Amino acid sequence: MKMIIAIVQDEDSSRLISNLMNEGYGVTKLATTGGFLKSGNTTLLMGVDDNRFDGCMAIIEKVCKSRKQISSSPVTMGGSAGMYAPYPIEVTVGGATVFVMTVDQFVKF
């Protein structure tokens, strides 16, 4: 058995959870916040039997595609401390960060 921890953008989480549950995967959702754009993301926990692991990973890969987004980044103006102006930059968002761990024992009460 494997424990999959998938960190996905909030925008992708509902569709991913629906797809996983439709295929019979159990999912636990945790609301989390990312450090990069201070944007919300979702951490999903899934316990998956070894024979269903590849199918679960395929669903995550299919749903969580990376994409470009314009974001404003503060830049210092004229070297003055504390004076910032928003500067639009293109960043890549979405996708998924996935951690996989082997589970030695699983107990459900």
- Tell me whether residue 34 is in a domain: yes
Does any domain span residue 83? no
Identify whether 77 is part of a domain.
Answer: no
Residue 76, in any domain of the structure: no
The predicted pLDDT at position 39 comes to 65
Total domains in the fold of the chain: 1
What per-residue confidence (pLDDT) applies to 60? 96
The domain of 27 spans 2-66+93-102
Supply the pTM of this predicted model.
Answer: 0.74
Q: Determine, yes or no, domain membership for 22.
A: yes
| pLDDT by 10s per residue, the chain, length 109 | 999 999 998 888 999 999 999 999 999 999 887 665 556 789 999 999 999 999 999 999 999 987 776 666 655 555 555 555 566 766 666 688 999 999 999 898 9
The answer to whether residue 75 is domain-embedded is no
Q: Is residue 53 part of a domain?
A: yes
* 50 phi-psi bin (left φ>0, alpha ψ -120 to 50, beta other): alpha
- Taking the C-alpha atoms of residue 103 and residue 17, their distance in angstroms, rounded to an integer, is 22
CATH number for position 97 = 3.30.70.120
pLDDT at 9: 85
